[in-house]
Structure 1
């Protein structure tokens, strides 16, 4: 019999919480959104960033939690912006990335997520990746971040043109969270 466990999701981004919660409900896992900014070390590694952030958050709230970080890696830009995606989105934005991509034929890119679960006994990192390309223009008003310029392989729409359920079929965040769920359901039983 499964223990009833609530897992806190530490993020200031409500959209990230909604994506994870949409998946968690399928497994009867209760998530609680805690609107805290994560404390980030500067690193080229998403895994290192989330592990450090999760440990800091756990030491503050002393309750099982998840911290997630994602990056957009564009091949023609030497995998820029990578772990600096949030900063680049705030400073250059969608139009700035499209400007950097003007005249570039190679539009291959991928999104990567690292998600860290921490409780009093374990620290575990899970990853997910979705391969695709950068669109020629901003398309769609759903999602957040760089969703309106990223087209996952296997679809012609940007993430910005998909609802949460459609995006979760491809999503890097969804893949990392599914890996967490496989672990978690065994871990709590």
Structure 2
């Protein structure tokens, strides 16, 4: 089986490649010659994942899956949510986003948050979605050099390390994207 993972994010691609079984050949957008920015204009995480997977299927004809992930913070009424990648502006800078988040939470006691990943799969002209959630809290400072995005400030519930301090295998086993990918893989193995 061959599937396109609709991402240009090399970090996401590495995470997912580590979780996909060897009998599934994973292609990137570069592999299929897709170099344009795929629209993400929906107002939900689910909507963006579906939009990206549909775009690749319609324009390139491949069986495809796409994900969208958001960090939802309780004290910010679910923000940054669907706007997580561009929370501090259209430049999509992870440091700017994280710094803005820490500033907005600086006077908040409730630091509970969760990461949510939705994967949309287009396979044999049918659409399926899979959701993974990882609950935790936002730390007061950045910790760790691994990972990407908000990983240096997200500490999963039950752990003393942020995602950015964890090995990829641990992060994948407890994290939102790993949970969603596991549901995808279980579905593909049926």
User: Do they superpose with TM above 0.5?
Assistant: yes
TM-score (norm 1): 0.90
Matched, 1:60 2:59: yes
Does residue 98 of the first structure (1) align with residue 94 of the second (2)? no
Report the Cα offset of residue 41 of structure 1: 2.1
2:120 counterpart (92, 116, 130): 116
For the 8 Å contact 2:38–2:52, the answer to whether it is kept is yes
Q: d(CA) in 2 for partners of 1:17 and 1:84?
A: 20
Structure 1 unmatched ranges of 5 or more: none
- Give 1:176 shift: 0.6
**Rounded Cα–Cα distance in structure 1 between residues aligned with 2:18 and 2:111:** 30
Task: In structure 2, list runs of 5 or more residues that go unmatched.
Answer: none
Shift of 1:11: 0.5
1:134-163 per-residue CA deviation (whole Å, 9 max, x = no partner) reads 011001111111000000012111111112
- Counterpart-to-counterpart distance in 1, 2:106 and 2:41: 32
Is the counterpart of residue 9 in structure 1 residue 5 in structure 2? yes
Runs of 4+ in structure 1 over 4 Å off: none
Q: TM-score, normalised by structure 2?
A: 0.89
Distance apart, 1:31 and its partner CA: 1.2
Q: Contact conserved, 2:132 with 2:178, CA < 8 A, in 1?
A: yes
Contact 1:58 1:119 (C-alpha < 8 Å) held by counterparts: no
Q: CA deviation at 1:60?
A: 1.3
